[in-house]
Amino acid sequence: MACNTDTKTIAVGTELQNHTASIFLWDVRSAPSARAHYQEVHSDDVTDLAFNPANPALLMSGSTDGLVNVYDTRITDEDDLTLQTCNHDASIHRAAWLTPTEIAALSHDERCALYDVAEERTTGDATQDFGDLRTVLGCQYVADVTPKVDGSGAILGVGSQDRRMFELVFLAKNPSGEGWALDRDNSVGLPGAHGEEIVRSFCFFDEQHMVFTAGEDGYVKAWRPAN
């Protein structure tokens, strides 16, 4: 599910049912019936949705069919509403807007790649591929990729059950050149995390220096990291 306060719109994606995975849009100010229903944009479960931070009419979706799509929700004809399709070639776990045109996609096999959906881009090929983050970051799983509200990048939440550790790694513009880089040197560790249980979700508040995590142990924890 994704919400946009500017347009008062809620977007919801469904699992594959009767050979169809749907996306519904509701305007919370109007009648309870959906104002839009997309039925042919994905061939498997919809796993993530996100509105564009600069243009609330643009909606991104990720699916276990391996695709990340971007739609113009102002277009009523479903055949014409998809602006760009990025083929990650693996089941999508999470997808996030890094900038108004750049997307980070994370698959269930922990591979992360970046895509540019600007109008001049004619293909949906990855502009940067980090590969398997378990190897790159020395972790066992990646919980999520969450954009920072100031537009400076995103935070990857990665964990290791064996080491009972959860870590926040900053994905930022590469200071030494083009593209993006994983800033492992300034990562924030949460020692102990949720023990040997996986952290399923996290959120952070930079101004308050607070992090919240939710784990498979059934607990929600609040952290104020020292660094």
**Residue at 219: amino acid letter:** Y
What is the structure's pLDDT at 197?
A: 97
Q: Is 208 helix (H, G, I), strand (E, B) or coil?
A: coil
- Domain 1-132, CATH number (from 3.20.20.70, 2.130.10.10, 3.40.50.300, 3.30.160.60): 2.130.10.10
Scanning 21-149, the segments in alpha helix (DSSP H) are 133-137
Average of per-residue pLDDT across 56-66 = 97
Residues 160-212 pLDDT 10s: 999 999 999 999 998 877 899 999 888 999 999 999 999 999 999 998 999 99
Residues 78-123 pLDDT 10s: 999 999 999 999 999 999 999 999 999 999 999 999 999 997 777 7
Q: Where in the chain is the domain with CATH 2.130.10.10?
A: 1-132
Greatest C-alpha distance within the chain: 52
Residues 120-154 pLDDT 10s: 777 789 999 999 999 999 999 999 999 998 889 99
What per-residue string of b and e applies to 5-27 under the rule 16 or more CB within 10 Å gives b? eebebbbebeebeeeebbbbbbe
| Separation between Cα atoms, residue 225 and residue 36, nearest integer Å | 43
Question: Of 113, 117, 116, 91, nearest to 104 (Cα)?
Answer: 113
**Residue at 176: amino acid letter:** S
